[in-house]
Chains A and B, each alone.
Chain A
Amino acid sequence: MVNTAVTLCGIRLDNPIIPASGTFGYGYEFAQLYDINMLGTFSFKGTTRQPRFGNPTPRIAEYAGGLLNAVGLQNPGADAVIAEELPRLRQVFHKPVMANVSGFSVEEYAETCALLAAQEQVGWLEVNISCPNVHGGGAAFGADPKAAAEVTRAVRAVTDKPLILKLSPTAADIAAVARACQDAGADGVSLINTLPGMRIDLKRRAPLLANGTGGMSGPAMLPLAVRMVYQVYQAVEIPIVGMGGVSRAEDVLELMLAGATAVGVGAANLVEPYACRNIIETLPDVMLRYGIHDLNDIIGGAHHG
């Protein structure tokens, strides 16, 4: 027998697996494929105060190590999420969900977080200050410790629910941003968001994505995520949700050894719809293969010695 349960900001997760925001919608498509109650939880589609269509298409491109997306925070807006998506989710998911929130101003972040935090189903708020695909918001807040702290304080003021700030790999010093979030009252940080990239269409001699750039995700991101989780773990005391290129149970253990308490799975859900179920089902055997009986014993384990 092994123990896969961990505690994330005071809430128990049966296992550390959390489908990452933007790859799992509001849960419903995947609930038609498998019982999503087997997940630790999931982080729902990045939600803004107002509905957003997002960027023009094409929004998706491929590279050898994964994909680029420039969706641009398409979502129905906080009111519709509360009125339509959460009641529908309640039918198929009986655990606290992680509400992912984006915004274009500090006030908008606070207002959207207050609305979603008031929903009983919402366990954690994951505040995205690192979306690479929108202008004048998102990553602008995550690039700088002062701006990140400002968003954290504003959201902290409207909720007592666990508050997790989602950080960008583009920050000059991600550990400094994480520390600023912690000092401003964050209960946790999640990292990494996608890394801005570009592909160029040889026939058209123009960027493949209508937006020009898009966030890179997929297996190529794993070493970057491991390095950044490792660095942030040394800089903060609050728990880390590690993510970036995870596609199998071994990747989960690697990020936990670097310092993650829980692990997000993103791009893998899109190419392998059962990716999270497969990871959860294989995790105990993979743990035993490496002599691990309790996941809690390995969090930050690579820092010893």
Chain B
Amino acid sequence: MKQTTFTIAQNSPLAEGIYRLHLQGDTTAITAPGQFVNLKLEGFYLRRPISVCDWADGELTLLYKVLGRGTEAMTRLPAGTRLDVLTGLGNGYDMTLSGDRPLLVGGGVGIPPLYGLAKRLRAQGKAVQAVLGFNSASDLFLLEDFRALQIEPVVTTADGSAGLRGLVTDGMAAAGPYSYLYTCGPEAMLRAVWQHCGTSGQFSFEERMGCGFGACMGCSCRTKYGTKRICKDGPVLQKEEILW
């Protein structure tokens, strides 16, 4: 973990209620896709944990969904704003277990960390497949970014307005055989994916956090191997350790 200052280069809407925040600053503490950062916002006591979508030397991209007053305030931050950020939080995805044909399954605002993962798996030459679930056609985002990685995502929407009508588990049935599974999304989705998943895999969870770095025990969960903190021991858990 590192506390550092990032400067907003761009903060713009991407889809219905979804924004892309492009930041410039020190990204050296970020070591794996699936990690998150914790942003200090003027006027709010707790920091806001946001998953890392992508990063490079000096560049950080976050995608966030407007869910409450904090994220709503974030939409009004202009370019040039300096943000106090704790970076490199959480364990992130372990890419060494992917095999040659990993499947990435994301739902809604759980999709951004999977983009950073997909990019790095493609760089290793893996045949990455992706199933991306949305509520409706107006929610779609990141599809072109996945296509730019030569990944044609299987899209599902709950209302059938784009792609397959249904849930990501319906999309999983339409995908080809896979060697391993990586997923992130709402807990109900993760549970359904867990039940459908025919291989081992890694599941990224979300929980309300106090600190984001393992101090307060606010985000604890039970696993087969004891109590874990989503912020520090997670957010990524192995399929085999999850207790529902």
Contact = CB atoms under 8 A, between A and B. Distances in A.
Interface stretch (B90-98, B158-166, B192-200, B209-217): B209-217
B179 to A, nearest CB: 33
A29 B45 contact: no
B215 A60 contact: no
Nearest to A76: B227
Nearest to A25: B215
A285 interface: no
A302 B211 CA distance: 34
Contacts of B221: 57
A178 B220 CA distance: 34
A22 interface: yes
Nearest to A209: B208
A23 B210 CA distance: 10
A260 B52 CA distance: 43
Contacts of B208: 57-61
B143 interface: no
A33 B89 CA distance: 13
Interface in B171-215: 207-211, 213-215
A54 B46 CA distance: 21
A36 to B, nearest CB: 12
Contacts of A60: 46, 208-210, 216, 218-219
Contacts of B218: 57, 59-60, 69, 71
Interface in A17-76: 22-25, 29-30, 32-33, 45, 53-54, 57-67, 69, 71, 74
Interface string B1-16: 1010000000000000
A66 B216 contact: no
A127 B65 CA distance: 43
Given A66-B45, A67-B45, A274-B3, A54 B211 contact: no
B213 A29 contact: yes
B126 interface: no
Contacts of A64: 45
Nearest to B44: A62
A270 B210 contact: yes
A164 B94 CA distance: 45
A254 B167 CA distance: 57
Interface residues of B, number: 25
Interface-central residue, A30, A63, A271, by most chain B CB under 10 Å:
A271
Contacts of A273: 1, 3, 86, 211, 213, 215
Contacts of A274: 3
B216 A270 contact: yes
Contacts of B122: none
Contacts of A69: 210, 216, 218
A142 interface: no
A46 B216 CA distance: 11
Given A23-B216, A60-B210, A274-B3, A53 B227 contact: yes
25 contacts: A25-B215, A29-B213, A29-B214, A32-B1, A33-B1, A53-B220, A53-B227, A54-B217, A57-B208, A59-B208, A59-B217, A60-B46, A60-B209, A60-B210, A60-B218, A62-B44, A71-B218, A74-B217, A267-B45, A270-B46, A270-B215, A271-B46, A271-B47, A271-B211, A273-B211
Interface of A: 22-25, 29-30, 32-33, 45, 53-54, 57-67, 69, 71, 74, 218-219, 267, 269-271, 273-274
Given A67-B45, A71-B216, A218-B45, 20 more contacts: A22-B216, A22-B217, A23-B215, A25-B214, A25-B217, A54-B220, A57-B207, A57-B208, A57-B221, A60-B46, A60-B218, A62-B44, A62-B46, A69-B218, A74-B217, A74-B220, A270-B215, A271-B40, A271-B211, A273-B86
